[in-house]
Structure 1
Amino acid sequence: MAGGIWTAQNKRRPGAYINTKGAPQAQPDTDLGRTLLIGSADLGWGPSGVVEVDNTTDFKAVLGAELSDTRLIPLRETLKGALTVLYLNQNGGEKAKVEDAKLPWNLTAKYAGTVGNTLTVTVEKDPDDETLITVKTLLGTSLVDEQVVRTTTASGLESNKYVDVVFTGDATEPVGEVAASDGGADFSAKAGQAKLDVLAVSTSYQLAGGTTKTSDVTEMLNDVLATENYNVVTTAGFAADNNIHSLVVAAVKRLRDEEGYKIRTVVPVMEGASKYDHEAISVVNNGVELVDGSILTATQAAGWFAGAASAADAGTSLTYTAYPDAIAAAPKRTNEQTVNALNAGQVVFTTLRNGSAVVEQDINSLVTLTEDKPAAFQKNRVVRTLDTIATNTMETFQSQFLGKINNDSTGRSLFKTDRVSYLKSLSDNAVIQPVDAVDLNVEPGEDRDAILVTLGVTPIDAMEKLYMTIFVN
């Protein structure tokens, strides 16, 4: 009897031909939990452009400051809600460096900026073995790297998180007893050894020449917004009257409405400004007081809401979600002020009697209701649901149908079957009400290569109001 695996049903001999494969799995939402934060601080360190960070990141190495630094409050708060933050670092300028003829290396700061000028490299000889060299890198007074090499292996010194090292032994003139005729790699090693041999027992070299030139965020903004992988962008940290908020809002509206990117943004409220009035724009009205007594403004607290919004899936509402480490809203809003803010489409933090601060209601800035955008569009959970369906449908069409499946009744039926199955998975997870096949129509479009899809769905919202009557007998 024959057997084995098969790729086509073309076997000649009788037998059992069995393949074992993993069942196709739904592709995860790779955008979930990813927040793009436009950096508002002049850090003087780090890559220019997007820096991807999470709670395990060595922030001092990549941004020049610990996460506890007050300049990174917006980032710290965003990471309380997000899984990953794409931090747009506006850092340009010149790199600090050391090019000393006494050393067999050129030392250059990893990144541009004035933080590089606080880097010091020390070279120390072992008192018991002068061929043994300890090279330390200090940021200010903090030791950030330590390596041990021998004078005979100076080329083995490696770059670290703060300093790039280039061995220059092969480019130096002969020193001491080293003769030019020694040549080649041997000359390179001997030149490096000779330089280290004549150094004092301990020498220090401070990097210098680092400058910070803040990049123009408007020049990089559109490219970053359109090319990075995220689902919520925020301008948390910028003053409420900064023009950056309106720039990002305009870009998000354009990317959603004209290019199909289902992204959203969170900005702080600006008193007296015109309303954003859009389902993809959330506006934070106030801040919070943390357990350590520090007060976060609306623009700082906007970071947490953006992070939490990016991590919330289509079946999650942030209504009454507690702000981590917060004990009160700041400032506290009266009932009238809260109602007015909600009616204006603003996210409000409210103080509860249990000593916590919560999101009053998970809403966006949409206030003008139309037939195309009814009241349900004011809820962020509903918008996340609709965005999820739209994005999944687009990605499925592009990866499995576009250019691969015929535009005939069979092909359109295949697409409908795929979408019905996907929508059933959403209803099974209580994201939408069950969808009947008659609610989804896939028809020929006006062009021979087009299809026209119409779908009716009812997103499920969370309970938010309780009306109760108690009768006394």
Structure 2
Amino acid sequence: MSWKTQNKHRPGAYINVLGKGNNNNGADIGRTLLPVSTSLNWGAKGIIKLNSDSNFKALLGHDIDEPELQTLHEVLKGANTVLLLNNNDGTAAKATDAALPWAITAKYPGTLGNDLHVTIQKQDDRVAVTTLFGTKVVDQQVISVNRPNTLFDNDYVSFKLTNEMAPQSLSSGSNTNDSNDSGGKNTRASKAPVVMASKLDQLSDDVTVDLTGGTTKPAQISDLLNDALETENYDVATTAGFPVDSPLHKQLVDEIKHLREDNDIKVRGVIPFTGDKINYEGISTVANGVVLGDGTELDATVAAGFFAGASSSADAAKSLTYVEYPDAISAYPRLSNDKTVEALERGQIVFTTKRNETVVIEQDINSLTSFTDEKPVFFGKNRVVRTMDTIVTKVKNTYEDMFIGKVTNDSTGRDLFKANIISYLQGLSDASVISDFKESDVTVEVGNDRDAVLINFAVTPLDSMEKLYATMVVQ
């Protein structure tokens, strides 16, 4: 594209071709908090820590490629760790059998527990205990018939020893005493003795028990979310997966603002575009979705999950502008140039299709669009916000971990704190995260109270290259 003034909104190369002459021919982070948007009917209530290697079937009752985990699948394309907020609650399925020495209980509440089955097969002096989830074998253990207490709980069920022994009548052979009387009328039949024997030892046939009674009674996700946002350690929280009219999006926005402004906890949020104007540097909104290589169409509510995951993994030296969306072949819907510019001007994340059927994040921005002297235009760029958040968090943690209550508030103590901050900021300057840093940019003084410290420091965050303005002169 050509340019007249350096006022382009979209990242890209803008090149003018001009003639000149005589007219001759001749592009520890990574934790994303994600509340579940579908009923899983399995799993622990509250936070479940997950990564790409997790056993999703055991923890959530579904494989990662099942529809119930679609949003989680997208978040994990960018995040190192997902803190999945599960609202599953209810009653756990159970099973007992008089022939077995255990009471069997599903590990988690929910209706999926009713799909569990346990089979016991006798093999001489041993038994094989097999747990099935639906038709899939998920655990198998072989134990001695005389040691039922050695059966361990697995990822799906727990075994509680009840009565491992059962009464058994023993045959005594001929227990008849004959009298010398020829009439034989004094004959006495003795009763066979009864002993206690292992239930497992007495098995003659295979036994299969089906767990039943599992119910789902979901907890209020909104209540769980507020608690998790304030207590968990994460970088980005998202309500991806929830419909655009869900009140959870506004709840997330309000809580992120509260944490950042009132508690100095510099976390960020990602939501699908709901039609509301957010206008806040701590929140990014996603305008559209993508089509995956297998034809699956993901709208903005789900695709927002990928951006949230990628945002949590990006450090202060990285921009997500033009970062590719894994497995995507087209934006959904594909926005025209004018519509893309409009979305960027509204502070929205846009996915764009490139010529080679790859999809990229058009520009790594947030929803801040009304700029002031206190929040200038570069506050709308996520890399800059990550830099500012990283510095604030580092300074806060350094003070709380190393100085508060430990170092005397005198000139020596304050100089020690100052030296620590200078060393950190110089490292950021060397890493091209900030520029033009000088030691004089940091001052540390005593505050109004004798236990108070006042620090002032100036930084200039760097951004990534996004726009190329070029002029090619053809002679």
TM-score (norm: length of structure 2): 0.87
SS in 1 for 2:138: strand
- After TM superposition, the structure 1 = structure 2 runs for residues 72-471 of structure 1, keeping only pairs within 5 Å, are 72-126=69-123, 129=124, 131-169=125-163, 174-177=166-169, 193-270=197-274, 273-471=275-473
Sequence identity, in percent?
50
Deviations 1:447-469 (A, max 9, x none): 11111111111001001101111
For residues 292 and 50 of structure 2, what CA distance do their matches in structure 1 show? 23
For residues 469 and 435 of structure 1, what CA distance do their matches in structure 2 show? 32
- The Cα of 1:198 is off from its aligned counterpart by 3.4
SS in 2 for 1:80: coil
For residues 429 and 266 of structure 1, what CA distance do their matches in structure 2 show? 27
- The Cα of 1:260 is off from its aligned counterpart by 1.2
Deviations 1:307-337 (A, max 9, x none): 0000000000000101011111110001111
For residues 218 and 331 of structure 1, what CA distance do their matches in structure 2 show? 30
- The Cα of 1:434 is off from its aligned counterpart by 3.3
For residues 195 and 295 of structure 1, what CA distance do their matches in structure 2 show? 55
- Residue type matched to 1:262 in 2? K
SS in 2 for 1:470: strand
Note if contact 1:176-1:194 (Cα within 8 Å) is conserved in structure 2.
no
Note if contact 2:253-2:283 (Cα within 8 Å) is conserved in structure 1.
yes
For residues 261 and 276 of structure 1, what CA distance do their matches in structure 2 show? 19
Alignment partner of 1:52 is 2:49: yes
For residues 474 and 229 of structure 2, what CA distance do their matches in structure 1 show? 59
Partner residue, 1:13? none
SS in 1 for 2:401: helix
SS in 1 for 2:168: coil
The two structures, once aligned, show a CA RMSD in angstroms of 1.3
Gap regions ≥5 residues in structure 1 = 1-29, 179-189
- The Cα of 1:87 is off from its aligned counterpart by 0.4
- Residue type matched to 1:176 in 2? Q
- Residue type matched to 1:313 in 2? D
For residues 433 and 245 of structure 2, what CA distance do their matches in structure 1 show? 37
SS in 2 for 1:467: strand
- The Cα of 1:431 is off from its aligned counterpart by 0.4
Partner residue, 2:64? 67
- Bigger helix share: 1
- Residue type matched to 1:394 in 2? K
Note if contact 2:270-2:284 (Cα within 8 Å) is conserved in structure 1.
yes
Note if contact 1:36-1:88 (Cα within 8 Å) is conserved in structure 2.
yes
Note if contact 2:46-2:86 (Cα within 8 Å) is conserved in structure 1.
yes
SS in 2 for 1:124: strand
Greater length-normalized contact order (CA 8 Å, ≥ 6 residues apart): 2
SS in 1 for 2:372: coil
- The Cα of 1:97 is off from its aligned counterpart by 0.5
- The Cα of 1:177 is off from its aligned counterpart by 4.3
- The Cα of 1:445 is off from its aligned counterpart by 1.1
For residues 224 and 335 of structure 2, what CA distance do their matches in structure 1 show? 37
SS in 1 for 2:463: coil
TM-score (norm: length of structure 1): 0.88
Moved more, 310-319 or 410-419: 410-419
SS in 1 for 2:89: strand
For residues 407 and 372 of structure 1, what CA distance do their matches in structure 2 show? 31
SS in 2 for 1:42: coil
Note if contact 2:418-2:442 (Cα within 8 Å) is conserved in structure 1.
yes
- Residue type matched to 1:226 in 2? E
For residues 302 and 419 of structure 1, what CA distance do their matches in structure 2 show? 36
For residues 76 and 197 of structure 1, what CA distance do their matches in structure 2 show? 47
For residues 33 and 323 of structure 2, what CA distance do their matches in structure 1 show? 21
Partner residue, 1:25? none
- The Cα of 1:100 is off from its aligned counterpart by 2.5
For residues 260 and 118 of structure 1, what CA distance do their matches in structure 2 show? 46
When Rg is computed on C-alpha atoms for both structures, the one with the higher figure is 2
- The Cα of 1:196 is off from its aligned counterpart by 2.1
SS in 2 for 1:175: strand
